[in-house]
Amino acid sequence: MIFQCNCTRCRRMSGTASVGAMYGISEVETTGTPKKYTCNGGSGMLVHNHFCPECGTRLYAMPEAMEGFMGIALGAFDDSLQFEPRAEIFTNYKMKWLRDSGCIKESFEEGAVAERIQLLMENLDQRG
């Protein structure tokens, strides 16, 4: 599932909302050794962010609130223009000028971890 995170931490790391594709950890194969930055996410739980050690590109995040899943930054895909977010989280922190083009089907304010996991499980086949 493609999602847009509007939490304060993601906004600080990306400049605005962060958009990623959620995958089960077992579905993804990585190579190399990324740099890791761990911080408290919007949920209050730790998020392990992984970056390219050469250029600093954000590659993926592993939020403890969604154990077993990783959010791959859309910028890490060569063909990222094909993706559109289907859900957005932490909408209470969303930038006022950020508009939805009609692709967002589900929105959650702060928290709602259980609801996000359920939505994720229902939409795993819609990642593109």
What's the pLDDT score for residue 20?
Answer: 86
What's the pLDDT score for residue 7?
Answer: 82
Q: Which two tokens stand for residue 87?
A: 């859900």
Q: For residue 16, give the CATH number of its domain.
A: 3.90.1590.10
SS3 call for 87: strand
Domain that holds residue 89: 2-126
What's the pLDDT score for residue 55?
Answer: 92
List, for residues 53-100, the tens digit of each pLDDT value: 999 989 999 988 888 889 999 888 888 888 888 888 888 888 888 877
The residue type found at 37 is Y
List, for residues 10-64, the tens digit of each pLDDT value: 888 877 778 888 888 999 999 999 999 999 887 788 999 999 999 998 999 998 8
Domain count, the chain: 1
List, for residues 110-126, the tens digit of each pLDDT value: 766 656 666 666 665 55
Give the CA angle between residues 47, 41, 30 to the nearest 5°: 25
What's the pLDDT score for residue 118?
Answer: 64
48 — phi, psi (to 5°)? -100, 110
